[in-house]
Structure 1
Amino acid sequence: STSTQSAVSNKIEEEDFYETTIRQTGCSRENEELQLCFADKRDWRLCREELEKFRECWKKHKNDVRVEQKSVA
């Protein structure tokens, strides 16, 4: 049906936007490792190492500053 096709199209666009946004942070590998850990273990507390690697990458690429600038604009 048309509504199903529209929902699928919207989902693909959301994924593309998310993936593009994460790629622009320079931390897509770290994000993927964190997501896979959570998908596997279903508990963020068990993914502390992956979370810390993502956090370090985020800071290294100065994403805190970038996000603040975008939310102000």
Structure 2
Amino acid sequence: MSNEEKDKTTQTAQDDDDEPDEWDKRIFSTGCADTQPADENAKMTDCYYDKKDWRQCKKEVSASLPC
């Protein structure tokens, strides 16, 4: 593969990274993505990371669900 081909492949991969995937499209289509505070989401994610059980993070999950 030539350097020019490698550059094209790298550029295409970078372009694809900027595009929302199917999961992002679904979340943004609900309208909730713009209303959820980032710090609330971080607390929920941190709780789950620490405890590995959503049931133990009910307070954080409830606080992060404004929709």
Normalising by structure 2, report the TM-score: 0.49
Normalising by structure 1, report the TM-score: 0.46
